[in-house]
């Protein structure tokens, strides 16, 4: 008994910041998840920090390349702009300069991206634990929170590769994921949402889903089939929720100048 308690205490004394897990989670996920499963403390900070930093760096790199190339944010001038009074035209031009400024180029996209990382983690981890529990599985919510955070590391790798592509080619990624299959004329919020949804799905998303399959295998009294169903349900829900920040970003960045009233 003393030996078991000593082993348990030794496992609990493991440091929260485990840099060695960064590569092992991608190469030997089963072994790493088994180690995480034995811990009672939270070890989610490091992977979420890496995901946040990589996502924000991608926003900065993309914005920098766009500014260097002289590409303005997509905007639409109001009809009959040339007939507006000079004062109104100046106000509209000033508004367009603000939209092309650092707040809309860097700050808003960075905030939305950060919220997507953290809210996405909370939704997937909490939702997965809830659904698995309803299906009869027994597992610790803390362990699922930890393992879900580490299962998101493929997205950090994707961001790093995208950053390298943007900086090397000096071009923004026009069609991330499967968004190239979306309709070219996104004239409605429905088609924009469809394109945004496809942009979230790629080989790294499938990699993340496979890692979650490994996570659900740690649940006791739960068949693999039920675990796979639970992961797919949560992932579909998470994808639908994640398109909201993307649509919001498009609305903030692609603001249309509204024609003023004249009296």
Q: For residue 186, what pLDDT band results from cuts at 50, 70 and 90?
A: low
* Burial class of residue 35 (count of CB atoms within 10 Å of its CB; 0-12, 13-18, 19+): middle
Q: What is the pLDDT of residue 6?
A: 35
Q: What angle do CA 248, 241, 111 make, to 5 degrees?
A: 45
Enter the pTM of the model: 0.76
Tokens of 223: 């068949």
Q: What is the pLDDT of residue 242?
A: 76
Q: Which of 209, 219, 213, 37 is nearest to 132 (CA)?
A: 219
Query: Averaged over 10-14, what is the pLDDT?
Result: 46
Query: Averaged over 71-82, what is the pLDDT?
Result: 52
Query: Averaged over 140-144, what is the pLDDT?
Result: 86
* Burial class of residue 228 (count of CB atoms within 10 Å of its CB; 0-12, 13-18, 19+): middle
Query: Averaged over 46-59, what is the pLDDT?
Result: 95
Residues 63 and 110 sit within 8 Å (Cβ to Cβ): no
pLDDT for residue 33 is more than 60: yes
pLDDT for residue 111 is more than 80: yes
Q: For residue 136, what pLDDT band results from cuts at 50, 70 and 90?
A: confident
Query: Averaged over 120-137, what is the pLDDT?
Result: 89
pLDDT for residue 163 is more than 90: yes
Q: By percentage, how much of the chain surpasses pLDDT 90? A: 29
Least confident range of 55-59, 146-150, 165-169, 239-243: 239-243
User: Domain spans of the chain?
Assistant: 42-66+88-253
Place of tokens 């499963």: 37
3-state secondary structure of 183: coil
Most confident of 87-96, 101-110, 194-203: 194-203
Query: Averaged over 11-40, what is the pLDDT?
Result: 79
Q: What is the pLDDT of residue 90?
A: 58
């Amino acid at each position: 008994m003393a030996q078991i308690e000593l082993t348990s205490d030794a496992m609990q004394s493991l440091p929260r910041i485990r840099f060695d897990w960064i590569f092992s989670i991608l190469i030997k996920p089963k072994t790493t998840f088994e180690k995480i499963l034995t811990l009672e403390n939270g070890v989610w900070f490091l992977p979420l920090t890496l995901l946040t930093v990589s996502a924000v760096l991608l926003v900065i790199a993309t914005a920098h390349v766009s500014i260097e190339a002289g590409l303005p944010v997509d905007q639409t001038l109001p009809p009959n702009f040339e007939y507006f009074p000079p004062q109104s035209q100046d106000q509209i031009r000033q508004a367009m300069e603000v939209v092309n400024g650092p707040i809309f180029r860097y700050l808003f996209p960075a905030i939305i991206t950060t919220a997507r990382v953290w809210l996405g983690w909370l939704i997937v981890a909490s939702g997965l634990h809830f659904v698995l529990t309803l299906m009869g599985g027994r597992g610790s919510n803390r362990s699922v929170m930890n393992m879900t955070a580490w299962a998101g590391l493929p997205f950090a790798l994707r961001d790093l590769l995208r950053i390298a592509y943007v900086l090397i080619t000096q071009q923004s990624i026009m069609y991330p994921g499967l968004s190239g299959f979306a309709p070219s004329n996104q004239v409605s919020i429905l088609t924009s949402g469809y394109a945004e949804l496809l942009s979230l799905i790629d080989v790294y998303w499938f990699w993340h889903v496979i890692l979650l399959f490994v996570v659900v295998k740690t649940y006791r009294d739960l068949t693999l089939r039920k675990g796979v169903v639970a992961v797919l349900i949560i992932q579909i829900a998470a994808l639908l929720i994640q398109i909201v920040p993307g649509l919001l970003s498009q609305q903030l960045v692609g603001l249309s100048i509204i024609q003023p009233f004249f009296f």
